[in-house]
Amino acid sequence: MLIIGEKNALECRILDFCSGGFYLVFDKKHPAIELNKNIKIRFSIRLEFELKTFEVDAQITHIGSTGVGVVTEQIPATTFNALKKIASPGSLAPVHDSSGTSPENLNQENYKNSFKQFLIESLPTLIDGFFVSLGDCLDAANTHSEFFPTSSAFDDLITTLKLNREIINSEFCCSVIYQVDFISSNTEKTSEALYHESLSLIEKEDFEDWLNMSASIRKLKNYFDDELSHLVRELCRVFGVFDNTVNNPIGPAVLCDSFREIFLQLELGCNVKKAIYNCFEKTLIIELPNLYKQAIATLTKFESARIVASGYSGQGSRSFDNQKIEKNQVYFNDFLDAEPLSGRKVVQPITQVTGKLLNLLSETVGISADNGYEESSLPLGHTQAVFNPAEVLSAIAKIQNDIAAKSNTHLDSATLQKSLTDKLRANSPEAKSLSVDDVQRLELYGKFFDALVGELEFSTDIKNYLESIYLPLLSLPLQGNDFLDSESHPARKILNQLAVLDPAIKSNRVIKNTNIKNTVEKAIARISAESISNPKVFAEVEHELDSVTKKLAQSNDANIKRIIEPYEGQQKLEMARLAIQQEVDKRIAGRSVPSIIPTLLDAGWQDLLVIAELNKDANPDEKLSYLKVIDDLLFWLYEQESFLNMQAVSIHTTLKFIEENLGAVCPNLFKRDSVIEELFSLLIGSGVPKVRKPMDSVRIPTPKSNPNIIESERAAQVAQLQVGEWLIIYKGSEGFEPMKLVWIGDILPICVFVNRDGLTKLELSKTELAQLLENGGANRIESLDVPLMDRATNQMLQNMHSKLIYNATHDAETDLFTKDEFIKQLKVELIKLDSTCHLLCHIEVLDFRVITNVCGVAGGKQFLKTLTQLIREQLPDCDLFARIGDKSFALLLKDCSTESGYDLFKKLLKTIGESRFQWQDKSYTIGVSIGLVPFEQRNFDINELLQNADAASMSAERSGPNNVLIFTNDDENLKRQNKIYEWIGNIDKVFSENRLFLRCQMITAVDETSASHQHYEILLGIKDENDNIIPPDHFIPAVERAKRMPEIDQWVITNVLMWIENNRNYFDNIDGFAINLSGQSINSEEFLGFLKGILESTSVPTNKLVFEVTETVAAESFYLTNSFIKAIKQFDCKFSLDDFGSGYSSYSYLKNLNIDYLKIDGAFVKDILNSKADIAIVKSMNEIAHSLGLATIAEYVENAEIREVLKTIGVDFAQGYGVHKPMPLSELVVDLPSAPFFSFEDTEFWGF
């Protein structure tokens, strides 16, 4: 609170502070504030469990549009320490075995020392650059002699600084290098300057001086945003910290403040120091790109720290899921420095992401197994000893020796964990167990190996090799050597090399006298036998295989080059023919011409032109001379005889030229001579005197156009194919084989593929390829040129995410869909249904409580499994099957008439009635009641369908056990359908009467204290004939049924852009609009043309437009959607994937879809307060999105409690009634602030 006088108090926030002043910002427009006015600043800080209020006297020294700078005489020590405490960096990510002098700690100390040595060699460059430009910078700043009244004063300063150059360089380097010790420590630094990326706590002598340097720091941070993000990621990886807690020793704040501390000791005026700081800032802009590039390269060479993933933290440390920096939202907000979340491209270490997913998997298994949602925990006081690393490695070595002689032996993580524990306990008299960290690594790397061996395509030989080195590979992370996180780790490179060598091993290929299979087998044998005790073997083997891999790659490249050379030649020839044909068509197509012209061309003159076109680079005039012949003949053949007589010499010369050159391409002498004779008779004549032969004419047809029309999804897919992509193609008796696209014809409609060893080619026309894609004979696959490790980790993440989704959407006892998932899938199915009859079935189990009372919980679970299996066997063609209650099931049968459905369920009841449930030594009858609801239209109310099926089941139950009853439909559903058909007839009327209008709903940051973001989703509104707003529940389905959604989308886009142009001042103050696009629009070439045209012509900033596409549309028409996105991305627009998690959730397609935002399906958000399954799913989606650099948006945020859960999870943005209720777009201006947001480039405030 900023207090002026006795009563005038203004709400504000402290954005930055130092010992001499504050920088305050206002969220709302503030009244006029006088410069140099004495004020009080009152604020509260929560210290431990007590909220303390502080008050400081100050004076306003700067005024800007959204904030003020105030100076204080001296902030009391208790107040300043409280501010420092709340602004200090958060705790660090737990680092394994952090106590004592573990190998991990020694490694990190060595890395710090190496990094210091790098800085010792590199930092002097910054000071050297500063002194090179110092004179010119100060001279430019002193244009009006405001800093140095005389030239001698100017020269004295330059001389003084240069005399102290070595001292400045030494102090600067020492100050920066000192910070390296605090990269991965939460111990407070003891130097005079304290640094924090979001809040500067700088001991200062002069407030103005601090403001000047603060401006430079923020400018540099924005300027080098990408480089700093990359550098921070490497620091996090090497030293085991999070990007929001790492202390970057060469960030702009450290460099600038280290520099500033030196000049605080000199008695210089504020303006002089400001000019010096500007000079240093310019030096950093020039020098930092190289420094950061070299620093990243240096860090890349270091191994990753052993980070303990979520839920596996040791005692006293926080898990990843709970880790966060506590911030007081009233006082500190660094959103102005934050990277826009839509541009997030931060990639987390793979072990960190998978660690989180492992925890979520454990949670969902517990959720599925226990509807009471009880969390498991270790017993209090649990202090069981654990096996040390040496013992674990020794046991792994023994297991490796035991299975060395066996082939195809793979131990999954659970089996290996048991074998390892048994082996360890057999040799240990003390009761011990594996550590939590080791258990996690066994599970994590087990899942990685399952993805590697089980789901990626390899030859049998490679699979055997991988099996034999599984334990040696596993020993690496158990020694703190996580090769999943290190791009340069030799084990990682070896696995990538094996994938490259696989085809050559399979064919027993020999390259330059080297038998590849023999070489690899020796290398694998060495790893298997030696590497557990000597990890250096991996580096030595990698070096051996690198030479072989390079030889193979060179051989494959040479083979591919030989294969495509003939096609390149054919294409070049076809392009030449096309170019010549176009030249000929320009002269004769669509016209009546002398018949001798096409005769001459057919006799070989057109071939001469093609040859000249091919040789145009060497002889550019040849083609022109041949074309001139055609042009001259066309001219002469229509001229009068008198003119031809004057041109006789030229005509004879041309005819001789034709005769000489035609002989080179026309082997038929008779044909050649007849053409020459015909030309002579037409142009010169025969007999005495010469008489010209009458000319015959022929009409040359206009060539037919051949537009490139995309006729289908698969044709579009072929058009999008690029050289280097991989497809798996059916090759008859040989089955499916991965093939690489190595050549695509531009003129020739041909695609050429080669197999993995580059020796076998496959030629397909584009039509043939489109047909194969259509019928499943060819499918795109992930590029096999992508390193194996990347493919394996992608597959592992996909498997873990899919398993998590499966656990959360399937019933644990029956393995059927849950009720929520059944409803979700039913919605998807209803959209696809045609007008034939379909059946929804409700099955209620009778006397289930009796079974559970008599047989117990275990018996009840087995009963449900037995009944589920029985229903599956009797109804194998059921389309959807779910357990929707304790004793209730639901089924969907598509394209099933009422009569046939009734017969099916009567047979089911007969089978159930004859069956008995056996439990221990007793047998029980099974009784159910079944209700059926037939329906014929797509647009049904799902809840109504389920209610009707339940009602029919209850009626059947009243008739006795094992009965089936068909629901008698009333007129309500027919009324609904008639309403939709009525709307179909009124669509044009709605347009003509202007009954559509635009609404909007805000999307904003979940955590408003760390980021400020505000964009709006555009929604469609509709009014009835009396101008009353009505829900679009019937109108939208009617438009979809009539296939007129592109018209709606065009109307929305046109009117949104019109609103923006008319309200530009307001639009400039928000982050943009999100506009929904229907699947019909995405698949429409006409709509794409409309959108491209309007974006080209508009003056609206298109980088603030986001187009939303639903996950269902994107997945079902992936290639058309991707092509659409690519076309619109050229206008700098963004894309959001809506309703993510609604049924597809494929990591691979999400990774390849060029989107910016991921909107989490509101079905997982609305009940998140009561559903741990929903929490786990949202966590997983958020982790997957962030691992791909996507920002997340949660829908259906209905209250502050849901928002708080999402904040804990780390979701970026929120949308829903708890954030902002939809409103007419025309009223949006009422809620927008009239003052612009504060910017650190605000020259009015800073006085620049």
Whether 636 is in a domain gets the answer yes
Whether 92 is in a domain gets the answer no
- Regarding beta strands 510-511 and 432-433, do their DSSP bridges make them parallel or antiparallel, or are they unpaired? unpaired
Q: For residue 760, how far is the Cα from the chain centroid?
A: 35
pLDDT at 722: 86
Final residue belonging to a domain, choices 790, 820, 839:
790
Residues 688 and 716 in one domain: no
Residue type, 645: N
Spell out the residues 6+ positions from residue 772 whose beta carbon is closer than 8 angstroms to its own. Answer: 729, 730, 764, 778
Residues 1195 and 1054 in one domain: yes
CATH number at residue 957: 3.30.70.270
Query: Which residues sit opposite 53 in a β-bridge?
Result: 44
Q: For residue 974, how far is the Cα from the chain centroid?
A: 44
d(CA 745, CA 571): 7
Residue type, 700: I
Whether 444 is in a domain gets the answer yes
Whether 567 is in a domain gets the answer no
Query: Which residues sit opposite 1158 in a β-bridge?
Result: 1137, 1192
Burial (Cβ within 10 Å: 0-12, 13-18, ≥19) of residue 791: buried
pLDDT at 105: 60
Residues 1040 and 935 in one domain: no
Q: By residue range, what is the domain housing residue 254?
A: 103-307
> 124: cis peptide before it, omega within 30°?
no
Contact 714, 779 (CB under 8 A): no
Burial (Cβ within 10 Å: 0-12, 13-18, ≥19) of residue 20: buried
Contact 1089, 1101 (CB under 8 A): no
Contact 783, 725 (CB under 8 A): yes
Contact 390, 532 (CB under 8 A): no
Among 31, 22, 5, CA closest to 68: 22
- Regarding beta strands 1213-1214 and 1191-1194, do their DSSP bridges make them parallel or antiparallel, or are they unpaired? parallel
Residues 487 and 507 in one domain: yes
d(CA 645, CA 686): 14
Final residue belonging to a domain, choices 664, 699, 734:
699
Here the tokens at position 577 are 């023919």
Rg (CA), the chain: 38
pLDDT at 720: 79
Residues 199 and 71 in one domain: no
d(CA 783, CA 738): 10
Here the tokens at position 714 are 């698969």
Residues 1000 and 965 in one domain: no
Whether 328 is in a domain gets the answer no
Residues 943 and 823 in one domain: yes
Residues 677 and 785 in one domain: no
Under DSSP, the state recorded for 60 is: E
d(CA 1026, CA 550): 76
- Regarding beta strands 193-194 and 67-71, do their DSSP bridges make them parallel or antiparallel, or are they unpaired? unpaired
Whether 330 is in a domain gets the answer no
Neighbours of 487 (CB within 10 A): 13
Residues 613 and 495 in one domain: no
3-state SS string over 778-798?
EEEECCCCCCHHHHHHHHHHH
Spell out the residues 6+ positions from residue 330 whose beta carbon is closer than 8 angstroms to its own. Answer: 13, 43, 44
Under DSSP, the state recorded for 485 is: G
Residues 983 and 965 in one domain: no
d(CA 227, CA 214): 20
Divide the 1248 residues of the chain into consecutive groups of 10 and give the mean pLDDT of each group: 71 72 67 74 68 80 67 74 59 35 62 87 89 81 61 74 83 86 56 35 52 74 78 80 70 88 77 83 89 88 57 32 31 31 48 66 52 38 70 86 66 77 80 81 84 79 88 86 82 91 88 87 91 90 92 90 92 92 91 91 92 90 92 84 78 89 84 88 80 87 62 68 90 88 90 90 92 89 86 83 83 90 84 78 85 83 92 88 91 89 90 88 86 75 82 81 79 52 69 85 87 86 81 73 84 94 88 92 90 92 92 75 90 89 60 87 87 85 86 93 92 93 83 44 40
Taking every pair of Cα atoms in the chain, the longest distance, rounded to a whole number of angstroms, is 128
Whether 95 is in a domain gets the answer no
Residues 1004 and 1078 in one domain: yes
Residues 202 and 236 in one domain: yes
Number of independent structural domains in the chain? 7
Burial (Cβ within 10 Å: 0-12, 13-18, ≥19) of residue 105: middle
Whether 402 is in a domain gets the answer yes
Final residue belonging to a domain, choices 675, 699, 723:
699
